[in-house]
């Protein structure tokens, strides 16, 4: 499933076309994706203007001038592509074939934009684990999708002191705590593995080790917070990590996977300077964890 950097990359790719555009027509080519579309989905969007595009955790949010918010989730295999005018006039250069079967084009937004008429944003999802919904903006924060989400890791709130406050006294493994969306929203398996390696922390350590007995941040809490933010920003700059289905809106693939230090590198040499260890794999809560037993003590 795409993680926060991949969703943020998609948001930034869609924004220049989607924001400010009038939705002239919506093609809804099936009654459901992972969940049924809301009643009157296409009609509620037709003739409305997109005022803003944002992201909350792994959700894309398009504010509509009707005071509704279009919620979009990519699921396992969902992706957007932008077509401007004729199909051959696509923005960007395709580094790899798109390999997008039109039978999986489930939603097409026909837009009128300041750049000219005819722009289309197409949602393609072979596995149909993604979904779309419409929620009134005043009700958004209390909606079941969002009401229990934790802080945004790219925001100013993430710090060593915050991690200490969230995890003080908790015995659950550190990796499990970081993946818990009620604490921090949007962190996924790949980037948690990378942040823990960069900080020199074991994924099996109790989360409470980030706080001292007095509740103050432990020595590595500030470093972990800084590394989480840095890794996410580096991944966004690289267009995310293209593992299986993720592509950017212009069809190109993200390339942060070439920077992985531990993820999916089982048996390979650790890249920590002076470390003679090799990357190991263990399973935590059904997910693969990659780490170096030598330098992540």
Given 58, 81, 120, 198, the catalytic residue: 58
Residue 213 annotated among the catalytic residues of the structure: no
Residue 97 annotated among the catalytic residues of the structure: no
Locate tokens 């555009």: which residue?
Answer: 21
Dihedral pair phi/psi, residue 190, rounded to 5°: -60, -55
Residues listed for the chain: 297
d(CA 191, CA 179): 10
DSSP three-state, residue 268:
coil
Residue 55 annotated among the catalytic residues of the structure: no
Convert 215-249 to b/e letters by CB count within 10 Å (16 or more is b). Answer: eebbebbbbbbbbbbebbeebbebbbbbbebbbbb
Contacts of 103 (CB under 8 A, 6+ apart): none
Residue 271 annotated among the catalytic residues of the structure: no
Locate tokens 């037709």: which residue?
Answer: 46
Given 12, 271, 281, 287, the catalytic residue: 287
Given 3, 6, 8, 194, the catalytic residue: 3
Given 2, 173, 203, 217, the catalytic residue: 2
Measure Cα distances from 253 to 41, 93, 256, 265 in Å.
Answer: 30, 10, 10, 20
Active-site amino acid positions: 2-3, 58, 287
């Amino acid at each position: 499933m795409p993680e926060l950097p991949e969703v943020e990359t998609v948001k930034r790719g869609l924004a220049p076309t989607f924001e400010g555009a009038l939705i002239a027509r919506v093609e809804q080519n099936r009654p459901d994706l992972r969940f049924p579309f809301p009643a009157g989905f296409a009609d509620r969007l037709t003739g409305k203007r997109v005022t803003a595009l944002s992201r909350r955790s792994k959700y894309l949010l398009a504010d509509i001038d009707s005071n509704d918010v279009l919620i979009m989730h990519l699921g396992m295999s969902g992706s957007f592509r932008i077509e401007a005018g004729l199909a051959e006039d696509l923005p960007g250069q395709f580094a790899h074939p798109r390999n997008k079967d039109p039978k999986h084009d489930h939603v097409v937004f026909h837009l009128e934009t300041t750049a000219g008429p005819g722009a289309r944003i197409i949602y393609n999802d072979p596995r149909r684990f993604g979904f779309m919904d419409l929620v009134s903006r005043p009700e958004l924060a209390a909606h079941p999708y969002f009401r229990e989400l934790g802080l945004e890791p790219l925001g100013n709130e993430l710090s060593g002191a915050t991690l200490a406050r969230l995890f003080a006294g908790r015995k659950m493994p550190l990796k499990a705590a970081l993946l818990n969306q009620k604490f921090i929203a949007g962190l996924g398996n790949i980037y948690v593995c990378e942040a823990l390696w960069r900080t020199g922390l074991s994924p099996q350590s109790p989360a409470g080790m980030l706080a001292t007995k007095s509740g103050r941040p432990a020595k590595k809490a500030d470093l972990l917070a800084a590394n989480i933010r840095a890794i996410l920003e580096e991944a966004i700059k690289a267009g995310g990590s293209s593992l299986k289905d993720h592509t950017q809106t212009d069809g190109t693939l993200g390339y942060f996977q070439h920077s992985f230090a531990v993820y999916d590198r089982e048996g390979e040499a650790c890249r920590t300077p002076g470390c003679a260890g090799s990357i190991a794999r263990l399973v935590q809560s059904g997910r693969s964890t990659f780490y170096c037993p030598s330098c992540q003590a």
